[in-house]
Amino acid sequence: MIYKLIVTLHGNQIHELELDTSKEYVAGRGKTCDIVLDGEKGISRQHIKFSFDNTWKVQLIAKYGALIYSGETCEEIELDGDAVFAAPPFEFKLFIEDPMQDPVVEDESDPLHAENADSSPLDPLQANDNINDDANALVVQSPPPSDQDGAYDIKLGDEDAKDSPSNLPANPDETFQGNMESTDPGISKLQLFLEAKYSNGKKEVFKLEGNLWVAGRDPGCEIFLKDDHISRQHFELTQTNEGYYITDLGSSNGTYINKKKLKPHVPTPLESGDRVKIKRVRIKFNVVDEKFEQAANDIDEKQFMAPVPISGSGGTLHPMDGPGSHPFNNNVPMMYEGPAVERIENDSFNLLQINTWSKAHKIRATIILVGAIFAFMMMGETPQQKEGTQESTSVEPGIANLTQAQKESLAINYNLANQLKRQGRFDLCIAKVEEIHGLIEPYKDSKKILSQCEIAKQIKLEREAKERLEAQREKNQKRVSQVVDHCRKYIQSFQTVEQVDECLLPAIELDPGNPEYFPLRDQIQQRQVAAENAAQEAARRQQQIAEGNAMFRKAKAVYDRKDLKRSITQLQKYLNSGYPDPNGNKRKARGMIASARAEFDKILSVELNQCKQLAEKNEWKPADEACNKVLKQDSSNQQAKEVKSKLRIRLSKKMKEIYENASIEENFGNIEAANELWEKILDEDFQGGTEFYDRAKRKKRKYGL
């Protein structure tokens, strides 16, 4: 499965990422978060966390704030499919894609589509075949017709039949006389209109068809509002069986209904005549029955207001017989329709002028509404049941504090809950019971109905999940085998394990630990290891050749500078290094060493003889320099060392004699004669020769000579 998460702010997408089920994600305003929610108040540094355990779970980890999911505030959400939720002002959309899923035409023979044909014996309730699993559309069906013409039979248990006001026994002799088409809300055509007035005085009227519309200044919105104060996606309108709802989509300037600001991402009921305000934009919401005027004119008021016949025994109201007759039903199924918006000219739009109806119109409207309520009450309550209601007052004292409308709502929701329970629509059954408990708890056996629906819902969900899991497992295994066979066929074309894994990727995503992958990987791995070893050996040899060449070039440079002794040492070190020699450098190095040694020996011999000759002539300084040249080339030359040592001894002896004579002349005050002797020492001796050289210089400085 591929899980994609899209994050939007004020209708604009700010993040899109693919979620990895092996990781956890943290969203918040902290810069180190996986999903950074920046620039908005109310968001903590670490605000929410995403984790995966069979399904994605979203948890609020901040101290403050809330998650909004399906119109409810919560701190933790479990997402088992495509879903939309909000951490205001940010909205999150999770999309689940199956890359292995092929388009399949649904077959009624598929066990997943025939689950109700063979319900589990563990089910406390047998689900009706006509289950509508669309949780977004409330569909309340009328009771099915029984074998008796003109009568409707609702099958309940003994306990249900005793208390239910909907148990209507057939009595064809007594029928309701009147035009049901004029009063049945299922026949009325209610039409939604929006009238928008902009700050410049311009007006627009929108006629809406369908069940869901988004309004904003984005031209892609169903309701396109051309004003800079409107966000790109500002608010959303939805139509359900319970009425119309408006939801602010986290807009910049907010949405006000009847001067009250809406909470972002929280659906709010919308009534006909309500006024919506966004800065200087005013929007009026009207629901109009386009056929109301004709229906009001056609009704026979006297006949409609005539007493309704009730049987003496059962007190049951019966529908009309004959073609076109039908029971009164205020629970008309609402099927989802795609959004459609028609912008109409304001001058030609008269249906919004509801307040301009004549007095006759208002009277007819009142007659219809009162008659409809009266007919429904008479259908839903017999004299015996009235007595039961009075008796139940003592059991349920809280019902006495309810208004008549609330009591009627209790009876309607109770019957709907039973009907939804029998049909297997447990989510809606639970919702109806919760509405009942919002007024009074318990009401009759509402707690029992709630428990049954909750248990049945859980069993149904677990069974469906198990069946889906098993079917998916079989499909995955088949797909894994196909992928492995394909990769095995082309194994010779792969050079690396990564290429094999890329081929196996569709299978690995479905079954990461399948043992069939390992032989394919091992085969490529062995081939890859051999190739890598050969490449490493070749690289190592090239590196050694490069290092040897560098070492040879360095030694040759020393040789070219005629630094014979050092060049001989470095060339010999290169020969001993063992570097590969594809270029024949070692042969050249050996020739250079031989040449350097011959030249070196020749130079040493000449300079050594010169050193000896000069020493014999008492040319102390040139002799010392000649000996130093020999020692510089060969510091271990013993002949040069001996000549230099003897030279220094003889020089020191003579310089001492001259210095002593100069000291005698100095003592007798003959400074000029002493100075001549000091000058002789400086001429014959040299810096670094004997100590008398430095003494003579100090004497001359002493006398300023």
Q: Residue 123, class by beta-carbon neighbours within 10 Å (0-12 exposed, 13-18 middle, 19+ buried)?
A: middle
Torsion 414-420-423-425 (CA) sign: negative
CATH number of 190-292: 2.60.200.20
pTM: 0.27
Rounded Cα gap, residues 144 and 180, in angstroms? 19
Rounded Cα gap, residues 225 and 218, in angstroms? 8
Rounded Cα gap, residues 44 and 194, in angstroms? 39
Overall average pLDDT of the 243-251 stretch: 92
Lowest mean pLDDT among 335-339, 531-535, 663-667: 335-339
Lowest mean pLDDT among 124-138, 394-408, 563-577, 664-678: 124-138
Mean of the per-residue pLDDT values for the chain? 76
How much is the pLDDT for 375? 57
Confidence band for 364, pLDDT divided at 50, 70 and 90: low
3-state SS, residue 223: strand
Same fold, 2-97 and 190-292: yes
pLDDT higher than 60, residue 365:
no
Rounded Cα gap, residues 655 and 430, in angstroms? 127
pLDDT higher than 60, residue 488:
yes
Q: Contact at 8 Å (CB) between 22 and 41?
A: no
Residue range 177-225, pLDDT digits in tens = 443 333 344 444 578 899 999 989 899 999 998 888 999 999 888 899 9
Lowest mean pLDDT among 83-97, 302-316, 648-662: 302-316
pLDDT higher than 80, residue 265:
yes
Q: What one-character DSSP code corresponds to residue 398?
A: G
Rounded Cα gap, residues 185 and 324, in angstroms? 15
Residue range 425-460, pLDDT digits in tens = 899 999 989 989 988 888 899 999 999 999 999 998
Overall fold of domain 2-97: Tumour Suppressor Smad4 (2.60.200)
Confidence band for 604, pLDDT divided at 50, 70 and 90: confident
Q: How many other CB atoms sit within 10 Å of the CB of residue 478? A: 12
Confidence band for 126, pLDDT divided at 50, 70 and 90: very low
Q: Contact at 8 Å (CB) between 419 and 413?
A: no
313-341 burial string, b = 16+ CB within 10 Å, else e? ebbbbbbbeeeeeebbbebbeeeeeebeb
Rounded Cα gap, residues 125 and 146, in angstroms? 21
H or E segment to which residue 676 belongs: helix 671-684
H or E segment to which residue 228 belongs: none
pLDDT higher than 50, residue 388:
no
Overall average pLDDT of the 555-578 stretch: 89
H or E segment to which residue 12 belongs: strand 12-19
Rounded Cα gap, residues 233 and 29, in angstroms? 23
How much is the pLDDT for 392? 40
Q: Contact at 8 Å (CB) between 193 and 349?
A: yes
Q: What does the angle CA 400 – CA 404 – CA 410 come to, to the nearest 5 degrees? A: 80
Q: Contact at 8 Å (CB) between 382 and 315?
A: yes
Lowest mean pLDDT among 3-7, 402-406, 426-430, 556-560: 402-406
pLDDT higher than 70, residue 144:
no
Token pair in block for residue 140 = 């309340």
Residue scoring higher pLDDT (185 or 555): 555
**What single letter denotes the amino acid at residue 210?**
G
Share of the chain above pLDDT 90, in %: 34
**Residue linked to tokens 């929280």:** 266
Rounded Cα gap, residues 311 and 643, in angstroms? 155
Token pair in block for residue 408 = 């009627």
Task: Give counts: helices (H), strands (E), the chain.
Answer: 16, 23
Confidence band for 374, pLDDT divided at 50, 70 and 90: low
Of 25, 69, 74, 12, the closest CA to residue 51 belongs to 25
Residue scoring higher pLDDT (354 or 569): 569
pLDDT higher than 60, residue 334:
no
Rounded Cα gap, residues 583 and 316, in angstroms? 116
3-state SS, residue 263: coil
How much is the pLDDT for 684? 84
Rounded Cα gap, residues 125 and 592, in angstroms? 105
Rounded Cα gap, residues 622 and 199, in angstroms? 113
| Helix boundaries (H) for 225-358 | 292-298, 301-304
Q: Tell me which long-range contacts 304-310 makes (C-beta under 8 A, separation of at least 24).
A: 304/178, 304/179, 304/182, 304/183, 304/367, 304/371, 305/367, 305/371, 306/177, 306/178, 308/176, 308/374, 308/375, 308/378, 309/174, 309/175, 309/176, 310/174, 310/378
Overall average pLDDT of the 24-45 stretch: 89
Rounded Cα gap, residues 91 and 8, in angstroms? 5
- Annotated domain spans of the chain: 2-97, 190-292, 403-514, 543-603, 618-703
Q: Contact at 8 Å (CB) between 28 and 37?
A: yes
How much is the pLDDT for 555? 92
Q: Contact at 8 Å (CB) between 74 and 265?
A: no
Query: Which residues are within 8 A (CB) of 559 and not within 5 positions of it... i.e. 6 or more apart?
Result: 567, 571, 592, 596
pLDDT higher than 70, residue 485:
yes
Say what the alpha-carbon torsion angle 467, 468, 472, 475 is, to the nearest 10 degrees.
60
Q: Contact at 8 Å (CB) between 79 and 60?
A: no
pLDDT higher than 70, residue 335:
no
Of 171, 166, 164, 167, the closest CA to residue 149 belongs to 171
- Cα 204 to the center of its chain, rounded Å: 40
How much is the pLDDT for 305? 46
Q: In what order do the strands lie in the sheet with 223-224?
A: 223-224, 212-216, 235-240, 243-248, 268-270
Token pair in block for residue 547 = 């290092």
Overall average pLDDT of the 635-660 stretch: 85
pLDDT higher than 80, residue 129:
no
How much is the pLDDT for 381? 45
Q: Contact at 8 Å (CB) between 643 and 615?
A: yes
- Count how many Cα atoms sit within 13 Å of the Cα of residue 608 in the half-sphere of its side chain: 17
pLDDT higher than 70, residue 19:
yes
Query: Which residues are within 8 A (CB) of 222 and not within 5 positions of it... i.e. 6 or more apart?
Result: 208, 213, 214, 215, 339, 340, 341
How much is the pLDDT for 379? 53
Residue range 306-319, pLDDT digits in tens = 444 433 333 333 33
**Residue linked to tokens 């510091």:** 635
Q: How many other CB atoms sit within 10 Å of the CB of residue 475? A: 15
Pairing of strands 25-28, 35-36: parallel
Overall average pLDDT of the 643-650 stretch: 85
Share of the chain above pLDDT 70, in %: 72
